[in-house]
Amino acid sequence: MDNFDTYQTPLARQKRFSIWRQLWLNLAIAEKQLGLPISDEAIEQMKANLDLTPEQFEIAAKEEKKRRHDVMAHVHTFGQVAPAAAGIIHLGATSCYVTDNADLIFLREGLGYLIRSLAVLISRLSSFAAQYRDLPTLGFTHFQPAQLTTVGKRATLWIQELLWDLRNLKRGREDLGFRGVKGTTGTQASFLALFDGDHQKVEELDALVTKLSGFDYAYPVTSQTYSRKIDIDVLAPLASLGATAHKIATDIRLLANLKEIEEPFESTQIGSSAMAYKRNPMRSERVCSLARHLMVLHQNALMTSSVQWFERTLDDSANRRITLPEAFLTADIVLSTLQNISEGLVVYPKVIARRISQELPFMATENIIMAIVKKGGDRQEAHERIRVLSHEAGHQVKQLGLENDLIDRIRADPYFDPIKNDLDTLLEPSSFIGRAPEQVDSFLKSWVYSALDDAELKEAIDKSSNVELNV
């Protein structure tokens, strides 16, 4: 077996091996309940020693060095502190009874942690969207100026994808089953022997251990391991979350370049060792960097699942011990970094307004044409005059590097006298944002708040808010 204990934190090691002991206890309780000769003393000793002491870790390390088998080293160590149970610990089971079932427990708990963190991020961005629901900003398609939107509406695009990620993570957690007690090749032969050929008791054992371990169901059939396709299903929503995070962080990086929105920047923070004026979006860059790693890790799960020979092979083990923790740790830091960014986004309305003023005259031409027609003008003639003036203004901007003076040219042209008093109204940015503010309101009310209206998520959001206030 691969020994990665050296690289685990003491808390992680305690968690893993305590879960192993709980699984052995659950197996013993179920076997006793179904008639196997296991004493009450054995059960009580196991219950009293679910957590390992530093001395027990030392014993386990020595045993593993001698036996070259991590599970058997811990069976021996557990038996030393629960001597009445030494003869029945791991009875009928194979190593994957503890390793795989424990992994499924960890996957479920890890998904829960990410679900709660994601809910906090969605909550923070929702507050941002609500705050800037009606602040006009230049929209971009192909990163070229397009019709106006609002800062809040753009944020809802981020939130919607995060809601889908929340749905996917919750589905992944709900779908997780338990390996249960299946034996060395999944046939339950050892347990059938223990119960003298009683198939019903073997089925009851599987169901009882599953229930004791907190799962609603066990996978109906397995090999020695649970199917590594489960890892694919777990890492897929994490990879998808990585894509969402990368998109959000990239948008923020582009907005930082435009000087419209910036991520938090500390008063003593240095953006460049040589260029003291720089305010690099380092948090968003970090998100993009880690998100790419998160997306790639899914490929490992795909490849590992595809090369499992028959009832199992061991070339999955070392890979999974790296890939699964890395995926969850990476997703965690991506979410926490995005939360940090969302809680300190700085919006520059005047910069946004200036950019709108540079592009809006061109976008307003259709409104101007329609206004002339309403005053009795000819559409084709109005269109031609606007076309000529627009090209002249475009020359000023593109060839001479000057400001867009289209509106000044329109004001100077007597043809447009009938609507000159209406120009300011026709150029009001809020008249170009359509239903963006109402879309924000409707989206938050109908989709976001309902998605977060869950006891688990509300508790996480409240707890995070309280921590922020205390800080």
Q: What is the pLDDT of residues 354-371, one digit of tens each?
A: 999 888 888 888 888 889
**pTM passes above 0.85:** yes
Is 253's pLDDT higher than 50?
yes
CA distances from residue 349 to 3, 124, 151, 409 in whole angstroms, order as listed: 56, 20, 10, 27
DSSP 149: E
Q: Are residues 101 and 81 in the same domain?
A: no
As annotated, the active-site residues are 142, 272
| Residue 5, in any domain of the structure | no
Would the CA dihedral through 413, 419, 424, 426 be positive or negative? Answer: negative
Question: pLDDT-derived band of residue 266, with 50, 70 and 90 as boundaries?
Answer: low
In the listed set 43, 75, 91, which residue is the last one of a domain according to the structure?
91
The answer to whether the beta carbons of residues 124 and 74 sit under 8 Å apart is no
Q: Residue 42: is it exposed, middle or buried by C-beta count within 10 angstroms (0-12/13-18/19+)? A: buried
Question: pLDDT-derived band of residue 127, with 50, 70 and 90 as boundaries?
Answer: very high
CATH classification at residue 390: 1.10.40.30
pLDDT value of residue 364: 83
- Structure tokens, 455: 């006891």
Domain that holds residue 35: 13-91
Which of 377, 361, 390 is closest to 418 using CA atoms? 377
Q: Are residues 165 and 288 in the same domain?
A: yes
CATH classification at residue 72: 1.10.275.10
- What is the full DSSP assignment across 437-455? HHHHHHHIIIIIHHHT-SH
What value does the mean pLDDT take over residues 229-256?
Answer: 98
Question: pLDDT-derived band of residue 277, with 50, 70 and 90 as boundaries?
Answer: low
Q: Are residues 136 and 233 in the same domain?
A: yes
- Structure tokens, 463: 């707890």
Give the model confidence (pLDDT) of 73-104 as tens digits. Answer: 999 999 999 999 999 999 999 999 999 999 99
Q: Are residues 157 and 254 in the same domain?
A: yes
Give the model confidence (pLDDT) of 55-70 as tens digits. Answer: 999 999 999 999 889 9
pLDDT value of residue 2: 46
Q: Are residues 77 and 215 in the same domain?
A: no
| Residue 2, in any domain of the structure | no
- Token pair 């305010």 in the structure block, residue: 279
Q: Are residues 356 and 332 in the same domain?
A: no
Which of 396, 400, 409, 401 is closest to 364 using CA atoms? 409
What value does the mean pLDDT take over residues 376-395?
Answer: 90
CATH classification at residue 328: 1.20.200.10
| Residue 224, in any domain of the structure | yes
Partners of 149 in the β-ladder: 137
In the listed set 91, 109, 131, which residue is the last one of a domain according to the structure?
91
pLDDT value of residue 470: 56
Longest C-alpha distance within the chain, in Å? 105
CB atoms closer than 10 angstroms to residue 11 = 8
Q: Are residues 18 and 165 in the same domain?
A: no
- Dist CA 278 CA 271 (whole Å): 5
- Structure tokens, 417: 């006298």
Q: Are residues 138 and 260 in the same domain?
A: yes
Residue scoring higher pLDDT (395 or 436) = 436
pLDDT value of residue 275: 52
Q: Are residues 235 and 277 in the same domain?
A: yes
- What is the full DSSP assignment across 279-332? ---HHHHHHHHHHHHHHHHHHHHHHHHHT--TT--GGGHHHHHHHHHHHHHHHH
Give the model confidence (pLDDT) of 290-344 as tens digits. Answer: 999 999 999 999 999 999 999 999 899 999 999 999 999 999 999 999 999 999 9
Would the CA dihedral through 447, 451, 453, 459 be positive or negative? Answer: negative
pLDDT value of residue 214: 97
| Residue 234, in any domain of the structure | yes
The count of structural domains within the chain is 3
Q: Are residues 71 and 136 in the same domain?
A: no
- Dist CA 156 CA 435 (whole Å): 13
Q: Are residues 224 and 306 in the same domain?
A: yes
- Dist CA 378 CA 369 (whole Å): 9
| Residue 4, in any domain of the structure | no
Q: Are residues 234 and 186 in the same domain?
A: yes
Among 289-303, 417-431, 441-455, the least confident range: 417-431
| Residue 43, in any domain of the structure | yes
| Residue 436, in any domain of the structure | no
- Structure tokens, 424: 């300011």
| Residue 470, in any domain of the structure | no
Among 33-37, 86-90, 192-196, 370-374, the least confident range: 370-374
